[in-house]
Chain A
């Protein structure tokens, strides 16, 4: 047993932070928090604190990245040195490059890039504080920031993870469950159609466990989607 590993993750049907197995951490989203960015969002999801900023459409630099038929979408995921318990060495690493890539791939299907050929749309995701599930938090924040910037998109993209601890399928892992649990399954979807734009798995799940975890994560996504819409309604009013 590793240092810090709890003996049991679920006691009397409650998880270590007091949640039920199918309960999300408290989620708060605020749209339009940055004045200089074209669009932005601040998100607190349990212990995760994330800012996403969106710029664009704007001119593409370097020029060779320009595409004559569509806009290029570029995402940058970055963790602050103080976002985790051991100081994170600043700058891009393999992990953040991977997350930047999957974030872009999660958002590309909804952004109508063909409307703005020869331009770039840049998204910056800054993790201020991390408590597991930052890629889901980042995607959720980024899609609110895109909408706030007035970039045409088919839909918002909510993301949420499910996983396995103590042989049970649970929703939205927090750091202890993520570090010492058996599996983590982040999912992002397009709510209207149910299409999946992000699906990764860390750890092992049996076939039926995967089915259950996936279903639970998708349900979580729909809850996140409601919060995203609330954030936009809060800034722009209306919505009935």
Chain B
């Protein structure tokens, strides 16, 4: 009897594994809502007229460890691309990064725009792929990041309010902002704003 029971359990588990591997999963709920291109998003934050250049960080394990020590976060990518803009007089007007973070299942991209003192100027969500939670793109959520610096907590229920039904996407934006602030302050430490 016991043998039979064990066989039944193993059999059910085997079937379950098979079911799991063949499950279409969250891909079936994937959306592909596109709101802005990078150029459109940059224009919303900084307007036109600036010259834009890029600087790339190659992320090694030491840099990632430093990030983790400071923020509790890891950088998933091997490189971080920061864009910085200068006006006609050569003065820095700001820097931004196109952050990519996973909401509940799928990654979505958003521009984290910083001003010349490396405080958040604005957030613009470029696309969104979850079936729910798209409200994180609205100004009622993104506007609360304005003025955040590398020393701000950027944490739900502390200095950021999450969107009901989109908690994971809200946290994902927090992660992207926190990491962008930290990388920008590493590149331009003398410009880092203090609270």
Partners in one complex: no
